[in-house]
Copies of this chain bind each other. A is one copy, B any other.
Amino acid sequence: MVFSVAVAGASGYAGGELLRLLAGHPEFEVRTVTAHSNAGQRLVDVQPSLRSLAHLTLVDTTSANLSGHDVVFVALPHGKSGELTAHLPADTLVVDCGADHRLESPDDWAAFYGGDYFGAWTYGVPELPTAHGKQRERIVGARRIAAPGCNASTVALALAPGIHAGAIEAQDLVAVLAVGPSGAGKSLKLPNLAAEILGSANPYAVGGTHRHIPEIVQSLRWAAAGVAAATAGTSATDGQPTTTGPAASAARDATISFTPVIVPMSRGILATSTARLVPGTSAATVRAAWESAYADEPFVHLLPEGHFPRTADVLGANTALIGLAVDEAAGRVVTITAIDNLVKGTAGAAIQSANIALGLTETLGLTMNGVAP
């Protein structure tokens, strides 16, 4: 069976990456591509790398244009998806690559984004260990999926196994990320100019202000072993593990110092995510936590002792590579995680989640091999 697909926001970087992957997906057929100011243009004139989709023309981003497809991928700036998708049929699979439906806490939404809050959808990071099993289980059969923030999923995947296993402390996490500027989209702002970024490393959102922080904390809350299965159920409406019961309240949320640094590579995230070792935990126990979390995952790989990933190794791939070290002198576990922000961080996660939701082979249309060098 071939599923008909629409992509909203097809002129942006995330939309383009969705289309690149969808073009190689054997069960998806892109029928409709929408944009705002570029509507009316040939897709290939706006996205000149998408040669195999030269037959498509961009139309306006409206609910009407998105209706009538089996699957709708939305790649719009945050705040643009809520209204647009509200009236799509309940049995249409909608995968939102924006932030609108990631946070289950209205307070977090208000504090970090603001504007109308449209509620959380099933979070699209299948490999995330939660107190109730992998997040994958919640995605099966879902029809509303929130693809993750690229930085957020990178750090959550890096640290969740240790928190889940009780090997690292969830408080006082520190993550510093080298990130490529494609994550900022095609926003015409001075800091995004090539001359500002070439030959330089530029921090932003320093000191606890980045919007992905509550999303990381939310994922790590789910991963915390202390969230007792007995009291925390799965919400009927959205497939997220609820964390509002008494056991959840008992567990203190993670705290994290989070600093992204733009570096001169078009795409990629290299996250150095560290956590305090739980006293008395052996290095072997630490490694076992990550090994057991990701042993069977097609797209999240723990590297052998002493090996650490580079972002080039996952360019274009849906792979997250994790290197792990225990620094006894510093009392910290150090994880290095490499992903392609536009693939595993966004479009690849969206398609992987869609595959799961629809009961397809999870890896369809995705590769684990990076384009390196």
Considering only CB atoms, which chain B residue lies closest to A42 in the complex? B304
Picked from B190, B206, B263, the residue with its CB within 8 Å of the CB of A323 is: B206
Tell me if A313 counts as interface (CB < 8 A to partner B).
Answer: yes
Picked from B263, B309, B331, B371, the residue with its CB within 8 Å of the CB of A263 is: B263
Picked from B23, B207, B268, B373, the residue with its CB within 8 Å of the CB of A196 is: B373
Tell me if A174 counts as interface (CB < 8 A to partner B).
Answer: yes
Asked whether B49 lies within 8 Å of A208 as measured between CB atoms, the reply is no
| Residues in B whose Cβ lies below 8 Å from that of A53 | 369
Asked whether B190 lies within 8 Å of A186 as measured between CB atoms, the reply is yes
How many residues in A have their beta carbons less than 8 Å from beta carbons of B?
A: 94
Considering only CB atoms, which chain B residue lies closest to A276 in the complex? B172
Mark each residue of chain A from 246 to 277: 1 if its CB lies under 8 Å from any CB of chain B, else 0. 00000000011111011111111010101010
Tell me if A203 counts as interface (CB < 8 A to partner B).
Answer: yes
Listed stretches A113-121, A177-185, A237-245; interface member: A177-185
Listed stretches A55-63, A71-79, A132-140, A314-322; interface member: A314-322
Asked whether A197 lies within 8 Å of B199 as measured between CB atoms, the reply is no
Asked whether B24 lies within 8 Å of A373 as measured between CB atoms, the reply is no
Asked whether A325 lies within 8 Å of B270 as measured between CB atoms, the reply is no
| Residues in B whose Cβ lies below 8 Å from that of A328 | 208
Tell me if A166 counts as interface (CB < 8 A to partner B).
Answer: no
Question: Measured between alpha carbons, how far is A172 from B330 in the docked complex, in Å?
Answer: 6
Asked whether A181 lies within 8 Å of B206 as measured between CB atoms, the reply is no
Tell me if A143 counts as interface (CB < 8 A to partner B).
Answer: no
Picked from B20, B172, B202, the residue with its CB within 8 Å of the CB of A369 is: B20
- Least CB distance from A273 to B in Å reads 10
Question: Measured between alpha carbons, how far is A194 from B197 in the docked complex, in Å?
Answer: 6
Tell me if A225 counts as interface (CB < 8 A to partner B).
Answer: no
| Residues in B whose Cβ lies below 8 Å from that of A265 | 198-201, 263-264
